[in-house]
Amino acid sequence: MLEETLHKYFGYDTFRIGQKEVVESVLQGNDTLAVLPTGTGKSLCYQLSGYLLEGLVVIVSPLISLMEDQVSSLQKTQEKRVIALNSLLTKEEKRFVLRKLNQYKFLFASPEMLLQPEVLQALERCKIALLVIDEAHCVSQWGIDFRPEYRQLQRVKKRLKDPVTLALTATATKLVRNDIAATLLKENLNEIVYSVDRPNIALFVRETDDKFATLEETLKHFSGSGIIYCATRKNVEELYGLLKDRWNVGYYHGGLETNQRKVLQQQFSSGQLQLLIATNAFGMGINKPDIRFIIHYDLSDSLENYIQEIGRAGRDGRQSYAILLYQQGDEYVHHFFSQITQKEREGLERLFAHQQEETTPLQEKWQNQAQVIGEEAVLQLLTQNEEMKKQRLQNMLSYIFSTGCRRERLLANFEEELGVIPDQCCDLHGAQLPDPEIPRAAMATVDHWQEILLKLFKENI
């Protein structure tokens, strides 16, 4: 039955892992939380469900670029009733879309957009088939101290008279799943959880007191595409300066212009750039199949983020590698980040106690939330969050210092046990990096991306 619909709309004959289960759960009218491995076609779950339900499918998406990808992928299946409602639209376009909402089948929007009064009003007048939270770990990861609107989605859900809700993600710990459920899902939700393990990614940690030397040594082992993650923009640019003469490399972080980011992503995905040095700004929605290695020049702030970042390797199923370089003290930058939120929280406490007048933008958002759940509750949430962050960093460190199997430690973070130990499991299980490649021919004739950009800009002036 479902297979027929699958064939009709998408041309496939069989479902991939988890898809059918999720669609069935949604069609039965259950709030559903699905943790499906990367690259298994999570979006098909809501697309297919949408076709079998009456009304509009509202998809909450964290990034404009992600919305654009999804819209164009739907358009490729000849679906025209699809729109991304975001700040790229003019006021007139936005008003038009809101007036004609009933003509659409799929609407993509950020939490910020959905919370706008005129958007809520328009949606209220509409039959909602399904509310989808894509990349649902953002509710927990970003919803507290970065994009609080993520938590206020519960207000959106209420205003829409509690439509069936589907939360989708590739990685979530038990704590995060519970948090998502408590924030946005009914009590009798259906949890569909598959393993987060990626057996074709071998895990390595290299402790060193000369990270750059270790990086160069590590890079010798690879000829395919790879990402190098750093914790700060400054480190990204410094490393770029050190590598740019000898590698075909670009860099990416949140300080770059949108256009630049698009060019870089495109160049990396198409293979024009072999290496990309980036902060955690890079990665969500990246579907390049043949990334062979992920090197962490700086550790991540949590195993949740770490597994997301290394999970971008080996989507084609071929052997790939995750190497983390650790130097004593690297974790302090993450302590610093948590201090920022701590100071923001302390400011908010003074504000509530009327000892302070001025507010930061973030504090304003928290104030809004306080009107919904109360001042006490907000402060409690923030304090809890600080504790959680500390614990997450500790878990990251315990992975680095683990003496048993790294995969086992990583999976334990997601309440999973290691079943079959892959051939190339981890450095503690005797895994080896591939043999060093024959030195590459000089890349002197290849322009660096900045030079290419510069030329483009000059041509346009």
Comparison of 27 and 388: residue with beta carbon closer to DNA: 388
The 10 Å Cβ neighbour count of residue 443 is: 15
CB 232 within 8 A of CB 240: no
Stretch that binds DNA, among 187-195, 225-233, 242-250, 449-457 (CB under 7 A): 225-233
Question: What are the helix (H) ranges across 36-110?
Answer: 42-52, 64-76, 91-99
- Give CA–CA dist 176/308, Å, rounded: 14
- From residue 234, alpha-carbon distances to 93, 229, 454 in Å are 39, 12, 22
Candidate list 73, 223, 232, 272; residue touching DNA; CB under 7 A: 232
Q: Which of 71, 30, 25 is nearest to 45 (CA)?
A: 25
Please report how close the Cβ of residue 43 comes to DNA at its closest, in angstroms: 17
Please report how close the Cβ of residue 179 comes to DNA at its closest, in angstroms: 16
Stretch that binds DNA, among 3-11, 40-48, 179-187, 227-235 (CB under 7 A): 227-235
Comparison of 265 and 320: residue with beta carbon closer to DNA: 265
* Tokens of residue 315, six digits: 């989507």
CB 352 within 8 A of CB 366: no
Please report how close the Cβ of residue 41 comes to DNA at its closest, in angstroms: 22
- Give CA–CA dist 319/166, Å, rounded: 32
Comparison of 110 and 363: residue with beta carbon closer to DNA: 110
Comparison of 112 and 375: residue with beta carbon closer to DNA: 112
- Give CA–CA dist 78/63, Å, rounded: 23
At residue 59, the 3 state secondary structure works out as strand
Comparison of 96 and 332: residue with beta carbon closer to DNA: 332
Please report how close the Cβ of residue 172 comes to DNA at its closest, in angstroms: 16
- Give CA–CA dist 44/20, Å, rounded: 10
* Tokens of residue 95, six digits: 């008003």
Cβ-count burial 277-312 (b if 16+ within 10 Å, e if not): bbbbebbebbebeebbbbbbbbbbbbbbbbbbbbbb
Please report how close the Cβ of residue 265 comes to DNA at its closest, in angstroms: 11
Comparison of 140 and 248: residue with beta carbon closer to DNA: 140
337 binds DNA (CB under 7 A): yes
Please report how close the Cβ of residue 460 comes to DNA at its closest, in angstroms: 14
64 binds DNA (CB under 7 A): yes
Candidate list 341, 359, 367, 368; residue touching DNA; CB under 7 A: 341
Candidate list 38, 86, 223, 260; residue touching DNA; CB under 7 A: 86
CA angle 35, 112, 384 (to 5 degrees): 60
Binding to DNA (CB under 7 A): which residues in 144-173? 145-147, 149
Q: How many residues lie near DNA (CB under 7 A)?
A: 39
- From residue 140, alpha-carbon distances to 146, 179, 278, 306 in Å are 10, 7, 23, 16
Binding to DNA (CB under 7 A): which residues in 348-407? none
Comparison of 191 and 330: residue with beta carbon closer to DNA: 330
Binding to DNA (CB under 7 A): which residues in 112-141? 112-113, 116, 141
- Give CA–CA dist 287/39, Å, rounded: 8
Contact map string, positions 307 to 336, toward DNA, x by CB under 7 A:
----------------------x--xx-xx
Please report how close the Cβ of residue 336 comes to DNA at its closest, in angstroms: 4
Candidate list 5, 40, 43, 65; residue touching DNA; CB under 7 A: 65
Comparison of 148 and 226: residue with beta carbon closer to DNA: 148
Number of H helices, E strands in the chain: 19, 13
Please report how close the Cβ of residue 276 comes to DNA at its closest, in angstroms: 13
The 10 Å Cβ neighbour count of residue 123 is: 21
Candidate list 105, 137, 211, 253; residue touching DNA; CB under 7 A: 253
Note the Cα 378 to chain centre separation in Å: 25
Candidate list 9, 142, 194, 352; residue touching DNA; CB under 7 A: 142
| Ramachandran bin of 423, using left for φ above 0, alpha for ψ from -120 to 50, beta for the remaining angles | alpha
Comparison of 152 and 190: residue with beta carbon closer to DNA: 152
Give contact residues for DNA (rule: CB under 7 A). 62-65, 85-88, 109-110, 112-113, 116, 141-142, 145-147, 149, 231-234, 253-255, 279-281, 301, 329, 332-333, 335-338, 340-341
